Amino acid sequence: MSDLAIRVEGLSKRYRIGERTGYVTLKDTLTKIFSNSLKVFRDQGKGKSKANDNYIWALNDVSFDVKKGEILGIIGDNGAGKTTLLKILSKITEPTKGHAEIYGSVGSLLEVGTGFHPELTGRENIYLSGAILGMKKVEIDRKFDEFVAFAEIEKFIDTPVKRYSSGMYVRLAFSVAAHLEPEILLVDEVLAVGDAAFRKKCLGKMGDVAKEGRTVLFVSHNMGAINTLCSRAILIDTGTIVKDGRTQQIIKKYLSRGVVNRGQIAWSEKERPGNQAFRLVAVSLISAKGLKTSQINISEDLTIKIDYEVLREGACVQLALMLFDVNGYCVFSSLSNTEENVYHGKPIHSGRYMSECLIYGNLLNNGKYYVSISGTSGSWRERFTINNVLTFEAVDDGILKRDYWGNYRGIIRPKLTWKTLPPQVHDGMRDGDKGL
């Protein structure tokens, strides 16, 4: 028991679908009583007992242990129960069944708005958070400059946090959570709000926290970060633990779970992902022969076609695609700003458009890859991402290997130019070099 930081046994959480939270008026209470009575009467008339369809189990009989100093990754689809688990461990919400034992002080960064009082300034919230964790004022004074320097918001430290942007809020919130030295740090996907440089800074800090012997529970859709930081991971699906083990094995299980190669996808008009300015219609992989495919020859070109509809006249559409390998590492990202025409980032007319991205042959190594698509219409707030929208297999035709029988290492396998000079030319160059 002495080496345990967290013990979770039979943890379950049930929510009622459509239930309101927050302040409830007398009118709300009377309406709820009347509607519930009417529903019971209707159900009895139909021969039904009280239905369980109005409830959902966000967590169902979850059990696991976390040792002190361990960094545990928690992965799963949206709605799998990851955030609910962290909220229970942070004592933000109570479980319906089961219990969790926490051995040490807890610092949490779950979502923008959690933990800080909006009317207090950044400075005041730092001292409040420290007091909640049991720190003395002199201890906070000693670390105060470190908090502010890491968050990079010196000019706004005496401004009420309700006036902070989401990025500023996350900067300060993470700095406080990481630097107040809680024994256990709970971090949710909230880091996705910050800019790329700050996210990298935060991931580095979490690595430092682990080296100091503190415990971290890290929820993220960034498989590369999970793989880098965590030696162990848990896969959660529909509120239950599917698998618990070494990080790479869990990531592979998550990415390949129920996935078959899919070289195209088209959405119905009601299901099209996007924003108010434009929505995706279809995405497909096109082989060098012009055919839709989910399997490519490594030495041949591959084209990714993105079909979308612009709904808002004058929208500035910008697209990006990300390619991931089976371990969740991003092989590369590509932005539509490389195309030499008037469309990217320029106001365009409403209507249907098709954008294409060409991936040259002899770039990828053999294996399975996942394509994610991202888009924005001129504002960061309108950005959206569709993860793992396509899956394909890159097959080695053996042409590049020739007489090499081993497996190529690495995520990519580019065809690079080699040159070998004949002896007389080589010797001449060396003599000339000596003359210099």
Domain with residue 340: its CATH number is 2.70.50.60
Whether 273 and 243 share a structural domain: no
Cβ atoms of residues 75 and 220 within 8 Å: yes
pLDDT of residue 59: 92
pLDDT of residue 133: 67
Whether 81 and 101 share a structural domain: yes
Which residue, 204, 237, 256, sits at the end of a domain?
256
Tell me if 130 is assigned to some domain: yes
- Can you read off the two tokens belonging to residue 117? 């009082």
Whether 269 and 242 share a structural domain: no
Whether 16 and 71 share a structural domain: yes
Whether 147 and 210 share a structural domain: yes
For residue 59, what are the β-bridge partners?
13
- Can you read off the two tokens belonging to residue 332? 């590369």
Tell me if 270 is assigned to some domain: yes
Whether 250 and 320 share a structural domain: no
Mean pLDDT by 10 residues, the chain (436 residues): 85 77 53 58 52 78 92 87 89 89 81 70 86 79 85 88 81 76 78 64 75 84 80 91 90 70 87 91 92 87 94 90 86 81 78 92 88 84 85 75 62 82 66 48
Q: DSSP code of 365?
A: P
Query: What is the helix (H) or strand (E) element at residue 236, kind and residue range?
Result: strand 232-237
**Nearest-angstrom CA–CA distance, 330 and 24:** 47
Residue with tokens 């008339």: 45
Query: What CATH number should be reported for the domain holding residue 231?
Result: 3.40.50.300
**C-alpha angle 173-178-183 in degrees, rounded to nearest 5:** 130
- Can you read off the two tokens belonging to residue 39? 């529903």
**Nearest-angstrom CA–CA distance, 323 and 387:** 10
Whether 163 and 236 share a structural domain: yes
Tell me if 416 is assigned to some domain: no
Cβ atoms of residues 10 and 99 within 8 Å: yes
Q: How many CB atoms lie within 10 A of CB 321?
A: 22
- Which strands, in side-by-side order, build the sheet including 215-219? 106-109, 184-187, 215-219, 71-75, 232-237, 240-246
Q: 71 is in which domain, residue-wise?
A: 4-20+56-256
Domain count, the chain: 2
Tell me if 251 is assigned to some domain: yes
Whether 238 and 279 share a structural domain: no
Tell me if 380 is assigned to some domain: yes
pLDDT of residue 387: 87
Cβ atoms of residues 315 and 277 within 8 Å: yes
Q: Strands 71-75, 215-219: parallel, antiparallel or unpaired by DSSP? A: parallel
pLDDT of residue 223: 78
Tell me if 43 is assigned to some domain: no
* pTM given for the model: 0.59
Whether 249 and 328 share a structural domain: no
Tell me if 38 is assigned to some domain: no
pLDDT of residue 436: 42
For residue 303, what are the β-bridge partners?
286, 358
Q: Is 125 left (phi over 0), alpha (psi -120 to 50) or beta?
A: alpha
Whether 85 and 202 share a structural domain: yes
**C-alpha angle 88-91-93 in degrees, rounded to nearest 5:** 60
Whether 115 and 145 share a structural domain: yes
Q: How many CB atoms lie within 10 A of CB 3?
A: 10
Which residue, 237, 256, 275, sits at the end of a domain?
256
Tell me if 106 is assigned to some domain: yes
Any residues with CB less than 8 A from the CB of 364 and at least 6 apart, and which? 296, 298, 331, 394, 411, 412, 413
CA dihedral 152, 158, 164, 168 (to 10 degrees): 10
Whether 95 and 137 share a structural domain: yes
Amino acid (one-letter) located at 417: T
How big is the chain by its Cα radius of gyration, in Å?
A: 27
